Amino acid sequence: MRRTSKAPSIREPRTANRGLDRDGQRVQSPGFRVLGSDASAKQITALVVRLLDWFARHARDLPWRRTRDPYAIWVSEIMLQQTQVKTVVPYWERWMRALPTLRALAQATPATVHKLWEGLGYYVRVRNLHRAAQQILARNGGQFPQNYEEVLALPGIGRYTAGAICSIAFNQPTPVLDGNVVRVLARLFGIEGDPRGRKANARLWHLAAQFVWCAAQLEADTPRPTPRATPPLSDATHHSAACSHLNQSLMELGAVVCTPHKPQCAACPLAGDCVALHNGRVEELPAPQPRRAAIARRYAAFIVERGGRFLVRQRPAGVVNAHLWEFPNAEAGKGGNDLATLAERTLGTKPTGLRELCSIRHSITRHRIKLDVYVALVEMNLRRRLVSGRWMTLAEAERLAFTSAHGKIRQRLMAQAGAARTRSRRRGLARTLDA
């Protein structure tokens, strides 16, 4: 385990029992152990012990917590960015079955990795994951780097993810600061201001570093139990893998106890020291992000079928959802085109009829998108004028990664085809019975 030789400048508090009132003024809080703006190593170590103890008893049994394999932990961390745990679990399990090693990922085709990611969104994540695996295979022979700076230099890995991998997989005292940890620390220490702002953010990172550094010291000062390849979570009470468990405990507390709304302070191991709880400001901290106004956008997609095959196309490199597949579509309302003109411009020829199939609503960042889907009828003699693309059956389309909205169209067409087959079987059966 890599150890720091120097504490990240933890200053001793000038007075004890300090908190902030509603106007941000310091108040004395006799009998209540709220933390001040500075906390001593001793104070933080006491919090670390409580966090480790709480984590040992309450951590959720998530599949990536049963391993120390840096590759498996890396995949989970990338999937968990902007995606909820319950969504990620089946994706992670399927991914690890299909690509169990870093070498398997590096050697997989882009189509395979996109298909395994289909539905998780933010596909730049999976492209970076693939690229980073290829770099590691080329440079380190497939051995995941253990040096923080080397991990940080990989595509798609920022300060948080590098800290998470190095602490969780290698038990290094590297801090993590995601949305959950920000919430816990901002409330615990009563930190004002935008957590992304320079001053508040630097303070939060500093605190996160203090916590994990104290966990490392605690582990160094505690006799180690017999080392195990993958210490179970209950070992957290014995301070084995303390950096790993401490960082996970902060994230876990923010995810299940110190939630954005209605946090369960009564069940929180840090409640006795929490500035926000003491000052009745739990719902106010951390300061909310300024919300950017949502932008409404409307698209139309056109389904063209030819003998059981559908016209689809692959999105080019360098655009949103690059390399994913979709049905021909265009943004509506631009240039004042009516639907027939839009269909002609999108398909390359004028359809003889348009039948509404469904509407799909979805969001990408702050864009609220309504996608109207039409079945376009195109005469046989005009089909050679259609835009280029690939003609494929729905079964072939199912094997490729579609954008999430167009994946829903594909599912809808498959459901329709299934219902049509059932109706036809029933009619056949009825005819047989009548005969």
For residue 269, the minimal CB distance to ligand SF4 (Å) is 8
- 188 in contact with ligand SF4 (CB under 6 A): yes
From 2-10, 55-63, 260-268, 304-312, span contacting ligand SF4 (CB under 6 A) = 260-268
Q: Are the C-beta atoms of 175 and 205 separated by less than 8 Å?
A: yes
- 34 in contact with ligand SF4 (CB under 6 A): no
Q: Are the C-beta atoms of 302 and 292 separated by less than 8 Å?
A: no
Angle at Cα 282 formed by Cα 279 and Cα 285, nearest 5°? 105
From 4-12, 87-95, 98-106, 256-264, span contacting ligand SF4 (CB under 6 A) = 256-264
Q: Which is nearer to ligand SF4, 265 or 382 (CB)?
A: 265
CB atoms within 10 A of CB 309: 15
- 263 in contact with ligand SF4 (CB under 6 A): yes
- 360 in contact with ligand SF4 (CB under 6 A): no
Active-site annotation holder among 77, 118, 252, 326: 77
Which listed residue (282, 324, 347, 400) binds ligand SF4 by CB under 6 A? 282
CA neighbor of 205 nearest in space, from 245, 250, 240, 165 = 250
147 vs 317: CA distance, rounded Å: 32
100 vs 366: CA distance, rounded Å: 35
**Per-residue DSSP letters for 134-155?**
HHHHHHHTTPPP-SHHHHHTST
Q: Which is nearer to ligand SF4, 8 or 19 (CB)?
A: 19
- 173 in contact with ligand SF4 (CB under 6 A): no
For residue 26, the minimal CB distance to ligand SF4 (Å) is 19
CA neighbor of 55 nearest in space, from 203, 208, 224, 244 = 244
* Tokens encoding 243: 């950096």
Which listed residue (270, 373, 400, 409) binds ligand SF4 by CB under 6 A? 270
Residue 48, SS3 per DSSP = helix
Binding to ligand SF4 in span 73-92, by CB under 6 A = none
Active site includes 77? yes
Residues at the interface with ligand SF4 (CB under 6 A):
184, 187-188, 257-258, 263, 265, 268, 270-271, 274, 276-277, 282
